Homo-oligomer: A and B are copies of this chain.
Amino acid sequence: METKPRKVLIADDEPDILEILKYNLSNEGYEVVTAKDGDEALEKARRNQPDLVILDVMMPKKTGVEVCQLLRAQPAFKETLIIFLTAVNDEGTQIKGLETGADDYVSKPISPKVFLSRVNALFRRLNKTEARILTIDHLTIDPERFIIKVGEAEIILAKKEFELLYLLALKPGRVFLRNEILNQVWGNDVIVGDRTIDVHIRKIRQKLGIDCITTVKGVGYKFEL
């Protein structure tokens, strides 16, 4: 399952800040791009389409607020997260920043750890609205649309079949005991015959046309391409 790394663009004219933030965000698994002034920030934002933009308010060329406004004006950046970063702890600027469409406003000096938590908090909320789309090789499972894609072909699975496949595909390679599968998909109180799972597995294999579910005899099933 691919969870592509979140892309973050940091724009600040102080190299130290850039360095510290980049170091911390990278460690946390984010992909980091940096810019040292407003114009460069705009340029790199366009090219990299980051998920989060961190803007210093006081920057050469263009201020963070200006950059923010320009970004928000473009449809591609309507949804992008934006955090302002500033030494200026002045109310007016802060309010203006937030009203321009920023999602957070952090005052320097910043504690890297606190900053990280804030970033994570923002992404956490964003995540929920997003679908948890699984992509394994050329197989795509989209629970939001209830669609399976093998290559370009769209395949419709029934509810139970979908849930079963999704469960297995969540942890590729991991073997699920028949009991686990029953609990997860059917619920721990429902009692069904022993052949039920096999039949569903078969239907999935049949509909997908590819062999992605492996039987582990005497144990259970696992997803594998």
Binding site for B on A (CB under 8 A): 78-79, 91, 94-95, 98-99, 101-105, 111, 113-114, 117-118, 120-121, 124-126, 128, 131, 144-147, 158-159, 173-175, 216-219, 222
With CB as the reference atom, state the residue of chain B lying closest to A159. Answer: B218
A147 to B118, CA, bound (A): 38
B146 with A222: CB separation less than 8 A:
yes
A125 with B103: CB separation less than 8 A:
yes
A95 with B124: CB separation less than 8 A:
no
Query: Taking the nearest CB of chain B, how far is it from the CB of A41, in angstroms?
Result: 20
Query: Taking the nearest CB of chain B, how far is it from the CB of A54, in angstroms?
Result: 15
With CB as the reference atom, state the residue of chain B lying closest to A131. Answer: B174
**Which chain B positions have C-beta within 8 A of A146?**
175, 216, 219, 222
A146 to B215, CA, bound (A): 11
**Which chain B positions have C-beta within 8 A of A158?**
217-218
A64 to B173, CA, bound (A): 36
